[in-house]
Amino acid sequence: MNRSALTPVFLGLRAGLHILFGGLIAVVIIRAAYQHTGSALPTISLAVVFAASYAIGGFLVSSTQATRRVPIALWLGLLTIEWLVLVWWSPDAAYLVFALFFLYLHLLPGWAGPAAVALSVTLAIVAIGFHNGFTIGGVVGPLVGALVAIAIGLGYRALYRESVEREKLLTDLVAAQRQLAASEREAGVLGERARLAREIHDTVAQGLSSIQMLLHAAEREAPTHPGIDHIRLARETAADNLGEARRFIRELTPRPLEQESLAAALRRVAAGTSSASRVPVAVTVAGSPRELPMPVEATMLRVAQSALANVVQHAQAEHATVTLSFMDDEVRLDVVDDGVGFDVDSTIAAQQAGRGESFGLTAMQERVAQVGGLLTIESAPGAGAAVSLAFESEAA
């Protein structure tokens, strides 16, 4: 069993069962030894065999996971037969049925456990009555013990199921957290790569392009200038460096956009989110897709990643949709979920003041503002959330 908060409870119950069995078998052996009757030696011998079967069989069953059901059935059947033979020789052995109750309830599936308890308590009552005569105590005692054992056994099963479900939930949560951390790291890397690409494009590349054009114009206007060779060399050098700058820009472009379109990259991100979080994410593309400037595509991809990360981490949503719309006057990206929602103004204010658990919304706003887009966030408690990013045709 995996270590959990309920593990001490299970270990305590198991230790209690072993102590109960050991105490009862000790009582049978001690009483048989002091009775000095002809049945003493067979009783002690059978009690030792019964105890050995309990110990050895329990160890073998717990260590045989591949063929678990067959060893359990054989072991319980052997213990039951040995107990019946032992009861034949000693009425004190009838009380060993209390230890068998817990074994039946814990190891037998479904209603087989309570049925085995009912059969064994009946046999115990008959055995006690056969040896000592039927009395109220001889009937009520085993019945009460059986009812208590059933109540404890059912409670143990409920705790065990809860422990298994909790372990599974914790495993899923850890996997989701790791995926979210990886997604956030990837989003951060993509954001920095895109920022550097945009800076190089807007400064170095544009400056080299302007220098190249000015030198080319000077070369055309003064072809016989004494320094024409130096002008031509400077223009060629600027052209070479412009090519290198553009190569750097291509290398810094977010990786999903290097090999596929924005729509394909969004589908890949949605599929990864669905696989990691089990929140179905549908992607829809409306209109006629067209190629967008690198900064616009990178921003849309990062906003989608950040919005989906928020859906998984905070929204408790059952579904989410990503819609990429190509229209005549604008390009729009919408991420909508059916989660618990939130108060937009207070959340953004808390993040801006540094009181929030994350800074996803403010980070999205800053990214979009840098490239001239319009970001709209709509939500309310209990009403899901919608993140909408739009670029006008001039920018897109």
324: domain CATH number is 3.30.565.10
Q: Is residue 127 one of the residues assigned to a domain?
A: yes
Name the band, by pLDDT with cuts 50, 70 and 90, for residue 1.
Answer: very low
Q: Is residue 218 one of the residues assigned to a domain?
A: no
**pLDDT, tens digit (0-9, with 9 covering 90-100), for 62-90:** 654 444 555 777 778 788 888 888 878 77
Domain that holds residue 337: 257-396
Domain final position from 134, 150, 180: 134
**pLDDT, tens digit (0-9, with 9 covering 90-100), for 235-276:** 888 887 877 776 776 666 555 555 568 888 888 888 887 876
**pLDDT, tens digit (0-9, with 9 covering 90-100), for 187-210:** 677 677 767 766 776 677 767 777
pLDDT higher for 343 or 36?
343
Domain final position from 110, 134, 158: 134
In the chain, % of residues over pLDDT 70: 79
Q: Is residue 165 one of the residues assigned to a domain?
A: no
Residue 61 pLDDT: 62
Check pLDDT > 60 for residue 145: yes
262 and 395 share one domain: yes
Q: Is residue 150 one of the residues assigned to a domain?
A: no
pTM: 0.40
Per the structure, how many domains does the chain have?
A: 2
Q: Is residue 122 one of the residues assigned to a domain?
A: yes
Residue 284 pLDDT: 92
Q: Is residue 275 one of the residues assigned to a domain?
A: yes
- If you count them, how many residues does the chain have? 396
Check pLDDT > 60 for residue 300: yes
Q: Is residue 196 one of the residues assigned to a domain?
A: no
Other CB atoms within 10 Å distance of the CB of residue 9: 15
Q: Is residue 322 one of the residues assigned to a domain?
A: yes
Residue 19 pLDDT: 79
Domain final position from 134, 154, 189: 134
